Structure 1
Amino acid sequence: MASTYVSPREVEKFLEGDLIEFPRLFYKHWAVYLGDDIIIHVTPCDDEDRSDSRIFRSKFCGKPKVCVKIEPISNVENSSQARRNNEIDQFHKPLDPSEIKEKAGTMVGPFDYNLFTNNCKHFAVYVRYGVKRLKK
């Protein structure tokens, strides 16, 4: 279910619809792999500062301005490592990759971020499984 961390340049190891986990200093960033080196994820709306410290500060110091973006996996700042992490498959059946891609196309734009109830992992899980709340 969860693979070992690899360089995002080794994206051939990822399959359409996979949850991709990027380790960060104080948290993990999550995205969904759409194929052809493309991901969908929640990220700051401004492209100037995607640093871990800026993102971490915004998560704990007020409501950040974040957006859902579809972009190359190489655009994920500081993404020296990434891994497939579909461990939730044991509890929920993932949507078909074509459904995931179709849904992803409708979700691009501003995102109502909340560290505890609507963060990048919540978003990625919703895209892959179609559920907002996980049952374990």
Structure 2
Amino acid sequence: MASRSSSKCSPGDLIEIFRLGYQHWALYVGDGYVVHLAPPCEYPGAGISSVGSVLCNMAEVKRELLTDVVGDCAYRVNNKLDKELNPLPVKEILRSAKRMIGKKVEYDITRKNCEHFVTKLRYGEPRCQQIQNAFMMLTGALGLVVTLAYSAMRN
């Protein structure tokens, strides 16, 4: 599932980094580097999806070594939306990513997070399946609670 080697990454690939309880996302730009969102309120290499990033409303786009961003975590190439959306040409993806480096951008864990950022670069459309999946789980759990409460009241 997860790889520890960047040698299998190609420029323009989405990199999914497995943190405890969530995934951080970056875009591979070549030569061992990625572009990703980094919070100003955390330590270097943490990635915007770290626990404290929930408190941040701004992030900086950084170009850093994949190994520094990954740390001790596992990661893999995950161009998950390629079956649904056509990736932009690699030169365009890399040009857009390069233009963003060093910029401060608005950050919101539900609407403008690291996954939204890299999918917009690769596909031209921001998407975040982590948030969609969490919302579906919450909706399902709420539905179960309502059903159980209704059933208990009838008995």
TM-score, scaled to structure 1: 0.82
The reply to whether residue 116 of structure 1 matches residue 113 of structure 2 is no
Match of 2:86 in 1: 93
Structure 1's unaligned 5+ residue stretches are: none
1:66 touches 1:111 (CA, 8 Å); kept in 2?
A: yes
Runs of 4+ residues over 4 Å off in structure 1? 49-52
Match of 1:83 in 2: 76
Higher helix content, 1 or 2: 2
1:17 touches 1:100 (CA, 8 Å); kept in 2?
A: yes
TM-score, scaled to structure 2: 0.72
Counterpart Cα distance in 1 of 2:60 and 2:72:
18
Counterpart Cα distance in 2 of 1:77 and 1:66:
18
**Superimposed CA distance per residue, residues 58-94 of structure 1 (whole angstroms, 9 cap, x where no aligned partner):** 31xx334421111111221534311011110011000
CA 72–94 in structure 1, closer or farther in 2 if over 3 Å, else same: same
Larger RCO of the pair (alpha carbons < 8 Å, separation 6+) = 1
Identical-pair percentage: 33
SS of equivalent residue, structure 2 residue 119: helix
Counterpart Cα distance in 2 of 1:18 and 1:51:
20
Which of 16, 20, 25 lines up with 1:30 in the alignment?
25
Identify the range of structure 1 (112-121 vs 72-81) with the bigger mean alpha-carbon deviation.
72-81
Which of 11, 20, 23 lines up with 2:6 in the alignment?
11
SS of equivalent residue, structure 1 residue 6: coil
Structure 2's unaligned 5+ residue stretches are: 129-155
In structure 2, give the amino acid aligned to 1:96: P
CA 17–79 in structure 1, closer or farther in 2 if over 3 Å, else same: farther
The reply to whether residue 21 of structure 1 matches residue 16 of structure 2 is yes
Counterpart Cα distance in 2 of 1:79 and 1:106:
29
Higher-Rg member (1/2): 2
CA 132–80 in structure 1, closer or farther in 2 if over 3 Å, else same: closer
